[in-house]
Structure 1
Amino acid sequence: MTAPRYPHGPSSRAVLIGASMFADGDLPSIPAVRNNLDALHRALTHPRHGLLAPEHCRVLPDPGDQRAVGAALDWAAREAGDMLLVYYAGHGLLDEDGRLYLALTGTDPARPGFTSVPLELVQRDLARAHANSRIMLLDCCFSGRAVAAMGGSHTVFAGQLDLTGTYTLTSTTSTAPSHAPPGARHTAFTSALLDALAQEKPLTLDGIYQHVDRELAGLGLPRP
């Protein structure tokens, strides 16, 4: 077996997107999302244990429209040479055809195609990026719908990154809700993800998945 390859920090970029507050009353707020963004940013940019310089990790808390998200993704796709990481936490919405949309602060759940970010756009930007590795982390309902498109399979398998250049890790399956326990500091998936990143020995991407899987299964929650 070959030794794991660690990303080159100076040529890597990350975009962290989180929607915690919503103008539409049909979309309940998710206060833990703000904490998710803060904690993940600290983990990725930690002076000793992190990978990225702070200026190489953009955080978008409660973006109001698609423009801010598109600008951040375009910046990361242009600048990332080694690793490109995109994270989203918030509400996942489906249209009548089963397409997944990432909700924003101003999203109208009755018109997701016009007021939220289509997952297809994020996938397209990731696919066009010249980064050696492209990683997407989705913490939202129905997020498993992204796995088939990015990884080429409905199942999780080791070596996904080697085969396709992409690695997609989602908080749940294509049909299940994601979980934000009331009063918890973080959503369930991101809490497990942060715990995986805090391990004394750095984990591979598959190791991170296995760690998150054990944590969520132990809580009786849908598998990532």
Structure 2
Amino acid sequence: MTSTQQPPAPDGSESTSPLAGTGLPDPSGTRIVLIGAGRFNELHQLPATRRNVEDLADLITAAWNLPVANCTVLRDPASPRDLSRAVEEAAKEATDTLLVYYAGHGLIDWSGHFHLAVRSSERESVHDTAVPYAWVKEHVEKSRAERRIVILDCCYAARAFGSQSDSALFEVAGTYVLAAASETATAVSPPGEEFTAFTGALLSLFHPHSELVRCRVRMAWT
């Protein structure tokens, strides 16, 4: 599990988690995009991604008092444009908090650039069948949202803020990236498990005491 270093607070003190604070995100200005890419024409299947996004959607909308309409759950996007459009629309609408989550296959093209797989992606033709992460990065950077959070549960996820760019996404103030694997490592989806290993670990922090956690979050952020 890899995450970016938190940007410093204005007074020089260490900042808190992007999901913590003195108030809940404004529901009207918050947009969530949860992408679970599990069905593929050529790549091996990742059925656990569907349960990933379903449980995350339930958890986040409840904890943040978020209207269901402000949480887009995209299952098995068929084309690069399907995925890019969902992120683009959410990024344009968000003014308070933008959260983009992707679970699926991370792919590297012949020039070393990081891509996110969709149903039609081909391992031998990554550059024109998968989503360049640069597209996602650009949409997120342009958003007016005060907080921008990207969670990547896929192989090579740390390339989102690694060596491929001189201007890493986390350098944009108010933006946070959480990656399931390093630049050269694979993420894990154990056969037969309900969730991928990374997202399962995230959910396990909340599910055993989910109602208690949500209650405390509401009390702390009201």
TM bucket (normalised to shorter chain) is 0.7 to 0.9
Preserved contact between residue 206 and residue 213 of structure 2 (Cα < 8 Å): no
Query: How many Å separate the matches in 1 of 2:49 and 2:213?
Result: 27
Name the structure 1 match of 2:55.
39
Q: Which residue of 1 aligns with 2:169?
A: 150
Q: Distance in 1 between matches of 2:200 and 2:52?
A: 8
- Structure 1 runs of 4+ aligned residues shifted over 6 Å read none
Could you tell me whether the CA contact under 8 Å between 1:100 and 1:145 is conserved in 2?
yes
Q: Distance in 1 between matches of 2:206 and 2:98?
A: 17
**SS, match of residue 111 in structure 1:** helix
1:71-82 aligned at under 5 Å gives the runs 71-82=85-96
Higher relative contact order (CA 8 A, sep 6+): 2
Secondary structure, counterpart of 2:160 in structure 1: helix
Give ranges in structure 1 of 5+ residues lacking alignment: 153-162, 205-224
How far did residue 201 of structure 1 move?
Answer: 4.2
In structure 2, the partner of 1:185 is 194
**Deviation (angstroms), 1:10:** 2.4
- Using the TM superposition, give the Cα deviation of residue 172 of structure 1 relative to its aligned residue in structure 2, in angstroms: 1.1
Identity of aligned residues (%): 38
Partner of 2:34: 16
* Alignment partner of 1:61 is 2:83: no
Q: Is the aligned partner of 1:170 residue 2:189?
A: no
Return closer, same or farther for 1:179/1:63 CA change in 2, 3 Å cut-off.
Answer: same
One-letter amino acid of the counterpart of residue 96, structure 2: D
Structure 2 residue aligned with 1:215: none
Q: How many residues align?
A: 190
TM-score (ref. length: structure 2):
0.79
Partners of 1:15 and 1:72 within 8 A in 2: yes
- Quote the Cα distance in structure 1 between the aligned partners of 2:159 and 2:206: 24
C-alpha distance in 1, partners of 2:123/2:65? 36
Q: Hey, what's the Cα distance between the residues in 2 that align with 1:39 and 1:120?
A: 27
Matched, 1:123 2:154: no
| TM superposition score normalised by structure 1 | 0.78
The residue number in structure 1 matching 2:205 is 196
Partner of 1:100: 114
- Structure 2: distance between partners of 1:197 and 1:117: 31
| Aligned residue number for residue 220 of structure 2 | none
Distance 2:136 2:176 in 1: 14
Pick from 143, 146, 159 the counterpart of residue 132 of structure 1.
146
Q: Quick one: distance in 2 between partners of 1:11 and 1:111? A: 38
Alpha carbons 1:44, 1:50 under 8 Å: kept: yes
* 2:48 counterpart letter in structure 1: A
The CA deviation string for residues 47-93 of structure 1, in whole angstroms up to 9 with x for no partner, is: xx344211000011001002222221121111101000000000000
